[in-house]
A = this chain, B = another copy of it.
């Protein structure tokens, strides 16, 4: 029923446009009553993004089981769930992406959803950074960076019409955030702490990001 409503709605949005389609049109096409629609979807906007509630719940569950892992790695993995949801149905995801860009109401809805994901990630980080200096601030900044990186990778894929490997694109993008903010453990390459000692020599005034790059590559070596 839920899926049938979503499909009927989407057909109509593509035929007539989002604004020109009413809930009555959708239930008529799906052959169900108006009440059924609102049992599944609070609004017309929700039908365009039928899986976000489920994904938010999965994300929360994944983070609850994150235990003592690097918090940044954990929220990156949580963000990947969104990409996996989009990747499960490339054609639908690409069509929706194109429609969303053209309909202001949907853009707004999407921004709200993205913000909800960001809050879930920030909430986890806030707990993990509790007591650390600037813990709340760091939690919000890292969550925003993770979401931006994730969306950069996902959007590249959506813009290309769903061609190429979205997992690699998103993982590469998330890698930049993990490099800057993560603790380096649990990387995809399975890097393990060793007992070697790295000595780094830097001239005062060296750009910090260059120093970080050197440190990172030494620790990876």
Residues on A lying within 8 angstroms of B by beta carbon are 107-109, 111-112, 115, 134, 136-138, 140-141, 143-145, 147-149, 151-153, 173, 176-177, 179-185, 192-212, 215-216, 219
Contact = CB atoms under 8 A, between A and B. Distances in A.
Contacts of A194: 204-205
- Tallying the copies of this chain within the complex gives 2
Contact of A145 (B136, B145, B201): B145
A177 B145 CA distance: 10
Given A141-B148, A200-B199, A193 B205 contact: yes
A148 B152 contact: no
A200 B218 CA distance: 12
Contact of A147 (B112, B136, B144, B199): B144
A141 B136 contact: no
A115 to B, nearest CB: 6
Contact of A141 (B109, B176, B184, B215): B176
B203 A201 contact: no
25 contacts: A111-B115, A140-B151, A141-B148, A141-B149, A141-B152, A141-B173, A141-B177, A144-B148, A180-B180, A181-B209, A182-B207, A183-B209, A184-B205, A184-B207, A193-B204, A194-B205, A195-B204, A197-B201, A197-B204, A198-B203, A199-B199, A200-B215, A202-B215, A206-B219, A211-B219
